[in-house]
Amino acid sequence: MPIVICRSCGQANLARMMVGGRCPECREASAELVPISIAAAMLSVSIATVRRLVTSGRLPASRMATGKGWRRFRIADLEDFLEDCRSDSP
Q: Please report which confidence band the pLDDT of residue 66 belongs to, taking 50, 70 and 90 as the band edges.
A: low
How would you classify the pairing of strands 33-35 and 62-63?
Answer: unpaired
CA 80 to chain centre: 5
Orientation angle between helical segments 47-55 and 36-43, nearest 10 degrees? 100
The pTM is what?
0.63
Q: Residue 87 has what pLDDT?
A: 80
Question: Which one-letter DSSP state was computed for residue 17?
Answer: G
pLDDT tens, residue by residue, 40-63: 999 999 999 999 999 999 999 987
pLDDT tens, residue by residue, 7-46: 666 777 777 666 666 677 766 665 678 889 999 999 999 9
Question: 20 — phi, psi (to 5°)?
Answer: 65, 30
Q: Which residues contact 9 (CB under 8 A, 6 or more apart)?
A: 23, 25, 26
Q: Residue 2 has what pLDDT?
A: 79
